[in-house]
Amino acid sequence: MSRVYNFSAGPSMLPEEVLKKAAAEMLEYKSTGQSVMEMSHRSKEYKEIIDEAEALVRELYNVPDNYKVLFLQGGASTQFAAIPLNFMNGTGKADYIVSGQWGKRAYEEAARYGDVVVTANSVDKNYSYFPKTKKEDFREDADYVYYCMNNTIFGTKAPYIPDTGDIPLITDVSSCFFSEPLDISKFAVVYGGAQKNVAPAGVVIAIVREDMLGKARDITPKMLNWQVHADNGSMYNTPPCYIIYMCKLVLEWIKELGGLEEMKKRNIAKAKILYDFLDSSKMFSSTVVPEDRSLMNVPFVSGDKELDAKLIKEAAEAGFINIKGYKTVGGMRASIYNAMPIEGVEKLVEFLKKFEEENS
């Protein structure tokens, strides 16, 4: 068996150690005589798994006690509607920073429910930077301010946490989840889909300050009401049991390698190898301004569509898969999440150097 280096934006690579552990426990979890896949979500054994997953979220992010950790379904996209339904119920106003496609989608969904404005955006330069904001930009009576922290498609990361004063701040961290430490106390809600950096597709982890709960609109479907999930320990209905178990294994892996400080160190080192190459290359360049570059998603272009296509094809043949860029940026994108080993990035850069020599 030879495993490829998978640069997919999501679903994406999982740590090999985690896959091996899951494989070893596949037929029988501990001494239960059954797979986690087959377990009742109400069993004592499963309760331990979900409790442990939650405890790891709390430990790694240092989550303050007045926050709930929820495991939700429907992907981040479902939360684009759940967020206004749960939290836009005071003045019915919300302010959005739109720094890429996911923020735009979240804004469009929220706009169906109330008075929603785009406070800042970076569409003028095809989202190649993260817009600057200051406290005065936001409406004082907004129920919340929303932004996407890491723009998976465009490869930007917010270089600062927006100052919103007393207005609750909500952020989508799907593509930078557990990639570095984050001061949760600065936020009312931090949430993200698992399939970029935490687990296979199928669960959203939401960290929500308790005072935000209990304000959902009456029309909110029960399944979208975060209070309902909080009151039921994320077991109002059957949770995605196996995916939550995979979250537990990945979070254990992060803890064992030294937690989020260590994860950040590794992610900086990996990204530097790739950006240094792009900045020195005559053929390829990064599409993002240096100060707002993501550690997770690295789009780059050659400026020549045929050359890009040739590269993507040859890269796949050499075992570097999924480096085709998203259509709105074009070119290539290497997603180098937590599970991508540093060798994967080193070898990709070697490959790109060789390709540049051979094709110029």
Closer residue to ligand PLP, CB minimum distance, 284 or 337: 337
- When CB distances to ligand PLP are compared, the closest residue is 75
Mark whether 20 is an active-site residue.
Answer: no
Query: Minimum CB separation from ligand PLP for residue 101, in Å?
Result: 8
Mark whether 196 is an active-site residue.
Answer: yes
Name the nearest CA neighbour of 142 among 163, 176, 116.
116
Mark whether 93 is an active-site residue.
Answer: no
Note whether 75 binds ligand PLP by CB under 6 A: yes
Distance CA 143, CA 83 (A): 11
How would DSSP label each residue in 57-96? Answer: HHHHHT--TTEEEEEE-SHHHHHHHHHHHHH--SSSEEEE
Say if CB 293 and CB 286 are below 8 A apart. yes
- Computed over its alpha carbons, how large is the radius of gyration of the chain? 21
Q: How far from 193 is each of 41, 77, 172, 202, CA to CA, in Å?
A: 21, 9, 9, 8
Closer residue to ligand PLP, CB minimum distance, 172 or 292: 172
Q: Please, which of residues 153-172 interact with ligand PLP by CB under 6 A?
A: 172
Note whether 148 binds ligand PLP by CB under 6 A: yes
* Tokens read off for 359: 């094709």
Query: Minimum CB separation from ligand PLP for residue 154, in Å?
Result: 10
Name the nearest CA neighbour of 144 among 170, 165, 117.
170
Distance CA 6, CA 171 (A): 27
| Candidate segments 35-43, 71-79, 301-309, 322-330, binder of ligand PLP by CB under 6 A | 71-79
Write the binding mask 194 to 223 for ligand PLP: x where contact by CB under 6 A, - elsewhere.
--x---------------------------
Closer residue to ligand PLP, CB minimum distance, 121 or 285: 121
Note whether 334 binds ligand PLP by CB under 6 A: no
**Residue numbers at the binding site for ligand PLP (CB under 6 A):** 10, 75-77, 102, 148, 152, 172, 174-175, 193, 196
